[in-house]
Amino acid sequence: MAKWSDIDPQTLHPESLMMTYGFRPEWSEGAAAPPIFQTSTFVFPSARAGARCFEIAYGLDEAKPDEQPDLIYSRLNNPSLEIAEDRLALWDRADTAALFSSGMAAITTTLFAHLRPGDVVAASSPVYGGTHHFIETVLPQYDIGFVRFDHRTTAEQIIGLVGATGKRLGMIYVETPANPTNELIDLQMCAAVAAHFSTTGHKVPLAVDNTFLGPVFQHPLEHGADIVVYSATKYIGGHGDLIAGAALGAHTMIDPIRAMRTFVGNMTNPFTAWLLTRSMTTLQMRMERQAANAQRVADFLRDHPRVKSVNYLGHLAPGDPRHDLFKRQCLGAGGMISFEIVGGKEAAYRFLDALHLFKLAVSLGSVDSLAEHPATMTHCEAGEEVNAAKGVTPGLVRLSIGVEHPDDLVADVARALETA
Ligand SMILES: *Cc1c(COP(=O)(O)O)cnc(C)c1O
């Protein structure tokens, strides 16, 4: 029988490695599935070995190439987290990953680890509401400013906006596709702006929130990004039963984030990490099914007289410059749709209240289909005027498509549109 050690991860696809990679049954009584390492602390084999662990953990010395330091304490490291982190990193071909207690924990720790007082962060707009609040309200309290750009802003314009602040560019932070409009930001363009402001002493990191399409349909590290962040609550967890987050990239980018995590103490817990490990075994097939279902629902909406317009990446037409960017940057259209209903907010509310199979709830990426009203729910903080400029209109409805039978999803949407 083949042993784990016979498998070369370079030659296999991530979905083939999700049941084996990073765990050996002989480490745990032959268990085929990795156990949950529900422990606070770890016993050192000797005092000298314990001291050596601390030397490495505190950066007083580097681990030798073949040295496997013992585990110390579950705020620093825990096998359940490490197995999930090693497997998650495979999807984005990242060197390393760090798991967090939530997507917001991953995002805020990434920002705090790489930004310094006096910096400015250039952030795409719109971004997730919690991220928007943190960048625009919390970071300025620490003397970290921001400039905002969107899918229409050119590289020259971003360079001009940053230059006008007179501050050091500390990071470019991007969310693409944008929520809920599915507008795309050009990552290669952002990487060029980051390179423009980088110096020998300071590389400006490009961080990308890859929650919407990743890790199956978009790999930002291959397009010039340095850090990928996730709300693992969404597709990676995928069952609507946990909250978690992650940051991925090269060691130079992630090690400072992991160090900050150690002191903030916002790592995830062994049980949630174990659930993520279990969820990743079906990640590819869930996301493929969700994407196929979304195509069916989006096509149905496009042809419906009560629907004004549909924001769905699979509908971008060749010749549209957004189509070229989509083909270059994304591997699929994903499972997120938004559409403008005829009749504004009242019609949108009637539609949402009439759904049976779709649940009326925020969040996304779960096996169950969800529907919500961005203008008065997830995006209410920005206010009506700012929202309208971003395309978050009173008649906009957002759908997160699950793994149900596509005929049932289309029938539910059809019936609710009749009611609206
Ligand atoms: C949900 C979400 C977040 C926040 O993640 P939590 O796990 O809820 O903390 C960040 N970014 C995007 C794009 C999200 O959808």
pLDDT reported for residue 87: 97
Give me the pLDDT at residue 5, please.
Answer: 55
Question: Which residue's CA is the closest to the ligand 1 atom numbered 4?
Answer: 103
Q: Is the CB of 109 under 6 A from ligand 1?
A: no
Q: What is the greatest pairwise CA distance in the chain? A: 74
Please state the domain extents for the chain.
79-280, 283-419
CA 394–ligand 1 middle distance (angstroms): 22
Q: Mean pLDDT in runs of 10 for the chain (420 residues)?
A: 58 94 93 96 94 87 86 94 97 97 98 98 93 96 97 97 98 95 96 98 97 97 98 98 98 96 97 98 98 98 97 95 96 97 97 98 96 93 83 95 98 96
Tokens 């991530």: give the residue.
14
CATH number of this structure's domain 79-280: 3.40.640.10
**Cβ atoms within 10 Å, residue 43:** 8
pTM: predicted TM-score of the whole model, two decimal places = 0.95
> 129 alpha carbon to ligand 1 midpoint, in Å?
9
| 362 CA from centroid of ligand 1 (Å) | 11
214 Cα–ligand 1 center, Å: 13
Contacts of 338 (CB under 8 A, 6+ apart): 180, 181, 182, 310, 311, 374, 396, 397, 398, 399
Q: Is 179 in the pocket of ligand 1 (CB under 6 A)?
A: yes
- How many angstroms is it from 322 CA to the middle of ligand 1? 25
Protein residue with its CA nearest to atom 7 in ligand 1: 103
Nearest CA to ligand 1 atom 2: 231
79 lines ligand 1 (CB under 6 A): no
Report the Cα 69 to chain-centroid distance in Å. 30
Protein residue closest via CA to atom 12 of ligand 1:
128
The finding on whether 130 has its CB within 6 A of some atom of ligand 1 is yes
- Is 231 touching ligand 1 by the criterion CB < 6 Å? yes
Q: Report the CATH fold assignment for 283-419.
A: Aspartate Aminotransferase, domain 1 (3.90.1150)
In ligand 1, the atom with minimum distance to the C-alpha of 104 is: 9
Evaluate: CB of 372 within 6 angstroms of ligand 1: no
Question: Which atom of ligand 1 sits closest to the CA of residue 106?
Answer: 9
pLDDT at 11: 86
